[in-house]
Structure formats: structure tokens, C-alpha cells
């Protein structure tokens, strides 16, 4: 077993080895120095080297902290592909980078970080710093903002949608609701009223919609269910396949999504004025990541939201401009619902679903009536 034991180092050899590293390679000179002096010289050399290495380590560490403070990189989780629905996020990243001279950047991933229905979960565990999601994907996780998905709220423009969404996001109950997921709402992703595309005979009456299999989420899905349709909540990315395979007969989307997810490519008709409601899709940030930003980077982020939203609204207007041309190009019939049919739809879906929602929220300790009233009051102020 002795062969496996480490031998005690010879002091003479050890000192000579260190002497060589100190530049005293002439053994005759080194040998003339007494053992106590040798040890003193070696000790001074070791102390000096320790000091040098310590200073170097501290400098490297300080440099690392400085770099970390100066450069901030966020990962952003969205889905699908770049489209009108994500242009405010793209613009936000551009503005923030410009304002910080590239010291605060955002990497926007289209499906590479998470599935769209799991983005809120990803935010909660800090898997990424920013994400977009839609309330209807998981209403139980974000009950407060589902007020914005109630059918027939009467929101007429994208500007009104921004106003009511941001008013609701600022409500303490909503802040508390999303904080459960370590999320803070930053801005909305406003969409116009949904309408449906389908194949075969146009569904232009409530009677014809009875039994219709429709891709619709949130309050819109509830509205269709109230008139006898069968809603399914397949994701937007799955809508084309669901329509192609016959899982659904129709798909409810805003115009940009009919483009992006190609449902318009299969359609033979489109309802131009049904307007049952829309889906609310906030952009949220991880609270810890937001609070961890430097003051300058946080200011760059906050000050860029309004400009990013303005860009979004302008850009989305281009979608409206080309919609009619696409319908004509693809020979899609524009279906106009009669005022009588729309009134029947509202009577069947709007008030009952709203009242049921308020009752359900209040039972959970959520100020449902207050949130609904906030939407209506904000609309009134917006129109003054």
C-alpha cells in the first residue's frame, strides 16, 4: 500500500523549484543562501503572487459585473410567424435597442421557446422574460382579463380596444391576478372583431349555425355555443389543419390571422358584419426581470410602449386595405348578416353570458361587475 502514498516533498527541491520560477535558476547562487533566508524569499514571492492573482480575479469579476450591468438580453416567446399581430413586439425591441445603444436587446422567438398555451407558465418560472398569450387559451389562469373577451362588448375600433384593454390591465385586481404567475402586463395586442370563414353553403342565419363546428375560443366560443354551434379551441396554428380535415366547418379569426394561418385559402365565404367579439392577447413581462433592469433600461422599455402601439395600429391598417382585394382574388363570398339575425344573436348570447360571467367572478372574490363597468365607462370616455 506504501506505493500509493504520496511522498512528503523535499524542502530543498521544493525551494529550488520555486527559486527557478523566481528567476534564480543558478543553483550555486541559490545554494549559498541559508535555508531560513530561502524560506523568507519564497514566502515574500508567494505573497506577492497571491496579491497579483487576487487583484486579477477581482478585476475580472468586476469586469463581468460591469458587462452584465451594461448589456441586458431578454428572450421573448411568441408563436406562428411574424405578422401584424406581433409587429408591436418587433417595434418595441427595435426602439429599446436604439434608446440604449444596443445595451438592451430582445431575442424574439416564434415558437422556439414554448407553445402558445404555455407562455404564461414559462413567464412564471422565468424561462423567458417576455411573452404574448391569449386569455381564452386558459381562462382559469387569468380570469380577470376574460372580461375583455365577453361577446358583443361594443368595441368598434382598434383604438378603442387598446383603451379598454390598458384600463383593465391597470386595475389592481388584474395586477394581482397576473402576479400569481410572476407576470406584469405591458401592452395589449389589439385585434378587430372576429368573423368566420367557412366552406360550402354560407351560414347567414342563426338557424344555419346550429350544429356548426367552429374554431372559437373564450367569449366568442361561448357566444356560438349559446346559439347551438359547437365551438372547439384548437390553437391558431392548428386551425388550417382542423379545417382541412373537417374537424371544424368554420374558423373565427381577425383578418390578419386568416392571412397568417391560411384559413382564407380554404374559404368560400366570410361573414363581414357578424362581429361577435374578439380575443384579448396581452404582452407580459416577468416581474423579477423587469425589476432587475437598470433604471435606464427600464425607462427605455416603458417609454417605448406607446410608440410601439402606434406603429402596430398603423401597420394593421394595411391589413384592412388589402382584405377586400384578397377576397376577390380568392373568389370568397362576403356574407352580410341581417340586422334581425344579429339582434337575435346579441339577445341570446350577450346579456346571459355577461351576467353569468359577473356572477362567477364575484363568487371567486373577483370584482366582476367593477371590471365590466370599467370597460363600458372607458368606451364612453374614448368616444367623447
pLDDT, averaged in runs of 10, over the chain (384 residues): 38 45 45 56 58 54 52 96 96 99 98 97 98 96 98 94 98 99 99 93 95 93 95 90 94 90 95 93 99 98 99 93 91 95 94 96 98 98 93
Taking the C-alpha atoms of residue 149 and residue 143, their distance in angstroms, rounded to an integer, is 10
Please say which residue of 67, 93, 119 terminates a domain. 67
In SS3 terms, the chain reads as: CHHHCCCCCCHHHHHHHHHHHCCCCCHHHHHCCCHHHHHHHHHHHHHHHHHHHHHHHHHHHHHHHHHHHHCEEEEEEECCCCCHHHHHHHHHHHHHHHHCCCCEEEEEEECCCCCHHHHHHHHHCCCCCEEECCHHHCCCCCHHHHHHHCCCCCCCCHHHHHHHHHHHHCCHHHHHHHHCCCEEEEECCCCCCCEEEECCCCCCCHHHHCCCEEECCHHHHHHHHHCCCEEECCCHHHHHHHHHHCCCCEEEECHHHHHHCCHHHCCCEEECCCCCCCCCCCEEEEHHHHHCCCHHHHHHHHCCHHHHHHHHHHHHHHHHHHHHHHHHHCCCEEECCCHHHHHHHHHHHHHHHHHHHHHHHHHCCCCHHHHHHHHHHHHHHHCC
Q: Find, among 137, 114, 93, the residue nearest to 311 by Cα.
A: 93
Residue 231 belongs to some domain of the structure: no
pLDDT of residue 32: 54
**DSSP bridge pairs for 106:** 74
pLDDT of residue 27: 40
Please say which residue of 67, 100, 118 terminates a domain. 67
Taking the C-alpha atoms of residue 325 and residue 361, their distance in angstroms, rounded to an integer, is 43
Work out how many domains the chain is built from and give that number: 2
pLDDT of residue 320: 85
Instruction: Give me the torsion for CA of 114, 308, 141, 197, rounded to 10°.
Output: -80
Residue 245 belongs to some domain of the structure: no
C-beta atoms surrounding 287 within 10 Å? 17
Taking the C-alpha atoms of residue 292 and residue 54, their distance in angstroms, rounded to an integer, is 29
pLDDT of residue 131: 99
78 and 56 within one domain: no
Please say which residue of 23, 41, 67 terminates a domain. 67
Residue identified by cell 385585434 is 191
125 and 13 within one domain: no
pLDDT of residue 8: 42
Residue 207 belongs to some domain of the structure: no
Taking the C-alpha atoms of residue 108 and residue 260, their distance in angstroms, rounded to an integer, is 18
pTM for the model stands at 0.75
Which pairs count as long-range contacts for 360-365, CB under 8 Å and 24+ apart, including other chains? 361/143, 361/144, 361/147, 364/143
Residue 302 belongs to some domain of the structure: yes
352 and 280 within one domain: yes
Residue 19 belongs to some domain of the structure: yes
111 and 175 within one domain: yes
Q: Which domain holds residue 332?
A: 71-193+276-382
CATH number of the domain to which 108 belongs: 3.40.190.170
Residue 259 belongs to some domain of the structure: no
pLDDT of residue 283: 99
123 and 22 within one domain: no
168 and 92 within one domain: yes
Residue 248 belongs to some domain of the structure: no
Q: Find, among 222, 126, 145, the residue nearest to 185 by Cα.
A: 145
> What are the distances in angstroms from CA 204 to CA 43, 153, 201, 212, 238?
94, 21, 9, 12, 25
79 and 166 within one domain: yes
356 and 288 within one domain: yes
284 and 180 within one domain: yes
Q: State the cell numbers at 72.
A: 441586458
Taking the C-alpha atoms of residue 301 and residue 308, their distance in angstroms, rounded to an integer, is 10
Residue 316 belongs to some domain of the structure: yes
pLDDT of residue 293: 98
316 and 339 within one domain: yes
Q: What is the side-by-side strand order in the sheet with 72-78?
A: 104-110, 72-78, 130-132, 283-286, 183-187
114 and 170 within one domain: yes
52 and 92 within one domain: no
Amino acid at each position: 500500500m506504501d506505493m500509493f502514498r504520496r511522498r512528503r516533498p523535499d524542502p530543498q527541491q521544493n525551494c529550488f523549484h520555486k527559486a527557478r520560477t523566481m528567476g534564480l535558476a543558478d543553483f550555486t547562487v541559490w545554494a549559498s543562501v541559508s535555508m531560513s533566508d530561502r524560506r523568507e524569499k519564497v514566502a515574500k514571492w508567494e505573497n506577492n503572487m497571491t496579491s497579483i492573482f487576487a487583484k486579477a480575479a477581482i478585476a475580472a469579476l468586476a469586469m463581468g459585473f460591469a458587462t452584465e450591468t451594461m448589456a441586458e438580453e431578454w428572450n421573448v416567446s411568441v408563436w406562428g410567424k411574424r405578422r401584424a399581430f406581433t409587429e408591436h413586439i418587433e417595434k418595441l425591441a427595435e426602439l429599446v435597442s436604439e434608446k440604449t445603444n444596443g445595451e438592451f436587446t430582445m431575442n424574439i422567438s416564434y415558437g422556439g421557446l414554448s407553445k402558445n398555451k404555455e407562455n404564461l407558465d414559462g413567464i412564471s418560472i422565468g424561462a423567458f422574460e417576455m411573452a404574448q398569450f391569449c386569455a381564452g387559451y386558459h381562462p382559469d389562469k387569468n380570469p380577470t382579463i376574460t372580461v375583455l373577451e365577453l361577446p358583443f362588448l361594443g368595441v368598434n375600433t382598434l383604438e378603442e380596444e387598446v383603451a379598454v384593454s390598458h384600463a383593465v390591465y391597470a386595475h389592481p385586481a388584474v395586477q394581482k391576478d397576473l402576479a400569481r404567475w410572476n407576470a406584469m402586463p405591458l401592452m395589449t395586442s389589439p385585434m378587430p372583431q372576429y368573423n368566420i370563414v367557412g366552406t360550402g353553403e354560407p351560414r347567414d342565419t342563426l338557424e344555419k349555425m346550429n350544429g356548426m363546428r367552429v374554431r372559437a375560443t373564450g367569449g366568442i366560443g361561448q357566444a356560438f355555443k349559446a346559439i347551438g354551434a359547437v365551438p372547439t379551441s384548437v390553437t391558431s396554428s392548428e386551425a388550417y389543419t382542423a379545417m382541412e380535415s373537417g374537424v371544424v366547418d368554420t374558423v373565427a379569426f381577425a383578418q390578419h390571422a386568416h392571412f397568417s394561418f391560411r384559413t382564407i385559402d380554404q374559404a368560400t365565404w366570410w361573414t363581414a358584419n357578424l362581429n361577435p367579439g374578439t380575443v384579448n392577447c396581452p404582452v407580459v413581462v416577468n416581474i423579477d426581470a423587469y425589476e432587475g433592469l437598470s433604471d435606464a433600461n427600464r425607462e427605455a422599455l416603458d417609454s417605448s410602449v406607446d410608440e410601439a402601439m402606434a406603429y402596430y395600429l398603423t401597420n394593421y391598417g394595411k391589413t384592412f386595405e388589402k382584405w377586400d382585394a384578397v377576397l376577390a382574388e380568392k373568389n370568397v363570398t362576403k356574407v352580410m348578416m341581417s340586422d334581425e339575425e344579429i339582434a337575435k344573436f346579441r339577445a341570446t348570447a350577450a346579456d346571459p353570458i355577461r351576467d353569468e360571467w359577473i356572477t362567477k367572478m364575484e363568487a371567486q372574490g373577483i370584482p366582476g361587475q367593477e371590471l365590466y363597468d370599467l370597460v363600458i365607462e372607458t368606451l364612453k370616455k374614448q368616444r367623447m
